[in-house]
């Protein structure tokens, strides 16, 4: 098992983007059904840019991370997403 911080990244592809906002949009695009005539509705709370510790080991299909705020690089927008499914990775990359 390979763990980075508190996230297991075995058998994950790493998608790098310009912050968590871009990665969130790419994830929604990649996971949206392609056979619908209408766009999907997304409800989201306003993001809070506070440090939130991961209190247990995370091992999910898609995980979003960013470090731009906590390292003082707010203008750099550095984010990454470990993703298990290769097709989701392809769609996320095409979106970006």
Mean pLDDT of 18-30: 86
pLDDT in tens, 30-48: 988 888 787 777 666 665 5
Contact 44, 50 (CB under 8 A): no
Contact 81, 92 (CB under 8 A): yes
Contact 43, 49 (CB under 8 A): no
Task: Provide CB contacts within 8 A for 63, sequence distance 6+.
Answer: 7, 81, 82, 83
pLDDT in tens, 51-93: 667 788 888 888 888 776 666 666 677 888 899 999 999 999 9
Mean model confidence pLDDT for the chain? 78
């Amino acid at each position: 098992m390979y763990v980075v911080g508190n996230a297991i990244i075995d058998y994950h592809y790493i998608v790098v983007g310009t912050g968590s906002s871009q990665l969130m949009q790419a994830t929604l695009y990649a996971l949206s059904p392609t056979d619908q005539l209408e766009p999907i509705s997304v409800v989201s709370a306003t993001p809070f840019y506070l440090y939130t510790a991961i209190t247990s080991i995370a091992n999910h299909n898609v995980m979003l991370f960013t470090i731009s705020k906590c390292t003082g690089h707010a203008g750099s927008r550095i984010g990454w997403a470990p993703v298990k499914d290769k097709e989701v990775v392809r769609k996320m990359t095409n979106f970006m």
